[in-house]
Amino acid sequence: MTTDASTSAVLTPHGGARVTGALAVLTLATAAAVTAETLPVGLLPMIARDLGTSESRVGLLVSGYAVVVAAASLPLTALLGRWSRRRALTALLLGYAVGNGVFAVTHDYGVAMAARLLAGLAHAGFFSVAVGAAVSLVPPARAGRVTALVFTGVTLAFTAGVPAGTALGTVVGWRWAVTGIAAILLVLAVLAAVLLPAAPPPAATAPAPVRQVLRRGPVLRAAAVTVVATLGHYTAFTYVSPILHAAGIGAGSVSLVLFGFGAAGAAGLALAGGLADRLPRPALAGAVLLLGVALGVIGAPGTSAVVTVVAALAWGVAFGALPTLTQTAARRAAPDAGDAAPGLTNATTNTGIAGGGLLGGLLVADPPLLALTGAALAALALVLVLARPARPAPG
């Protein structure tokens, strides 16, 4: 088993405590980043009123953010490969903080859009650097576990960050909620600068360029699986409220179902963390299969409200597992590419998010069809997972 410069921190006095602190910062930064990304959705009417514009234009602050992430992830990952991960992560978190801070104080829609795009640019580089930094802190055999640990931040965002931010924004105003996120990101930037170990830039030990990596068959398959599975999920999830209403679940119960979805996602994440290093391909196939079956049950004619709730929980388990498993698939497909593999996953995930919102918008008049379309896309993703034997992991 080999170790790199940053992994060796584990072997030095107090290295264990420092690594634990660094992983905690990465997890909390992920939670803050995802909260900042999605918080405007719950505060849309207030933001629109304050900026003197329509809710649809405020919606562009969310979709435009996703487009920037999808377009900039790979170029920014390549650029940041020349920086140490400590420097890169600190700069990205500062960019997040500035973008959200400007968004919180502006009364001009154009400035608000520019601020959101700046935050989206930070997001474009964040996940590749954060996952790469976490994996570099531990021996290779634990890469899947620490990837799952970083993605615990996503679960924290959806079960705590976004609900708390929405509640705060409702009580004291959306600007205070966004200001709070900006302040947290600023503190995390300082902690990242202090706790992340000094190490050479990823490019110093990962010579394969991004363009070369993108020509590899296993990498392209991992990217295709991520796009199609994420597209299937977000085609339905973006419009989950109409889907649940059509199944007979009252408006007052939708939030409870979504809370259950988030809790089930935490269980899926835990399962992924346990399986990603030992059975990565079967685990990915199982998660995609569960996603398709759950959406198929929800969209099937005559499905009762009770069965819909059970299927929604299964859906949550599946989607909770997917980010860790798709990141692991990309990293195993390109073990010599540094942060290019997680950067590719970040780009393809956001392509699926943006595409799911657009595709779902075309089908929203028929909520069961939304779920069935998501199921069909999950089935296609499963075919891609199983199409060819997985490449053996490097010894």
Neighbouring residues of 193: CB distance < 8 A, sequence distance ≥ 6: 86, 90
- How high is the pLDDT of residue 299? 94
Q: Is 5 helix (H, G, I), strand (E, B) or coil?
A: coil
Q: Report residue 167's pLDDT band, with 50, 70 and 90 as the boundaries.
A: confident
Using alpha carbons, list the distances in angstroms from residue 190 to 29, 135, 309.
11, 21, 42
- The percent of residues above 70 in pLDDT, for the chain, comes to 86
Q: Is CATH 3.30.70.20 correct for 7-204? A: no
Instruction: Categorise residue 54: left if φ over 0, alpha if ψ from -120 to 50, beta otherwise.
Output: beta
Residue 231 has pLDDT above 90, yes or no: yes
- How high is the pLDDT of residue 336? 64
Q: Kindly report, residue by residue over 259-294, the tens digit of the pLDDT.
A: 888 889 889 988 988 888 888 899 999 999 999 999
- How high is the pLDDT of residue 13? 35
Average pLDDT over residues 19-46: 85
What is the spatial distance between Cα 32 and Cα 47, in angstroms, rounded to a whole number?
20
Average pLDDT over residues 226-232: 93
Q: Where are the domains of the chain?
A: 7-204, 210-386
Q: Kindly report, residue by residue over 168-186, the tens digit of the pLDDT.
A: 888 888 899 999 999 999 9
Using alpha carbons, list the distances in angstroms from residue 172 to 45, 176, 178.
14, 7, 11
Which of 82-96, 248-262, 302-316 is the least confident region? 248-262
What is the spatial distance between Cα 381 and Cα 130, in angstroms, rounded to a whole number?
26
Contact between residue 77 and residue 93 where contact means Cβ atoms under 8 Å apart? no
**Residue 59, Cβ density class (10 Å: 0-12 exposed, 13-18 middle, ≥19 buried):** middle
Q: Which carries the bigger pLDDT value, residue 202 or residue 64?
A: 64
From 224, 199, 248, select the one nearest 349 (Cα to Cα): 224
Using alpha carbons, list the distances in angstroms from residue 222 to 60, 63, 338.
29, 24, 16
Q: Report residue 4's pLDDT band, with 50, 70 and 90 as the boundaries.
A: very low
Q: Is CATH 1.10.3720.10 correct for 210-386? A: no
Q: Which carries the bigger pLDDT value, residue 175 or residue 125?
A: 175
- How high is the pLDDT of residue 155? 79
- How high is the pLDDT of residue 358? 80
Q: What is the mean pLDDT of the chain?
A: 82
- How high is the pLDDT of residue 395? 39
Residue 6 has pLDDT above 50, yes or no: no
Q: Which carries the bigger pLDDT value, residue 74 or residue 98?
A: 98
Residue 160 has pLDDT above 70, yes or no: yes
- How high is the pLDDT of residue 119? 92
Residue 75 has pLDDT above 50, yes or no: yes
Q: Which carries the bigger pLDDT value, residue 92 or residue 81?
A: 92
C-beta atoms surrounding 205 within 10 Å: 13
C-beta atoms surrounding 390 within 10 Å: 18
- How high is the pLDDT of residue 339? 62
Q: Kindly report, residue by residue over 338-373, the tens digit of the pLDDT.
A: 566 667 777 788 788 888 878 887 888 898 999 999
Helix (H) or strand (E) holding 80: helix 55-80
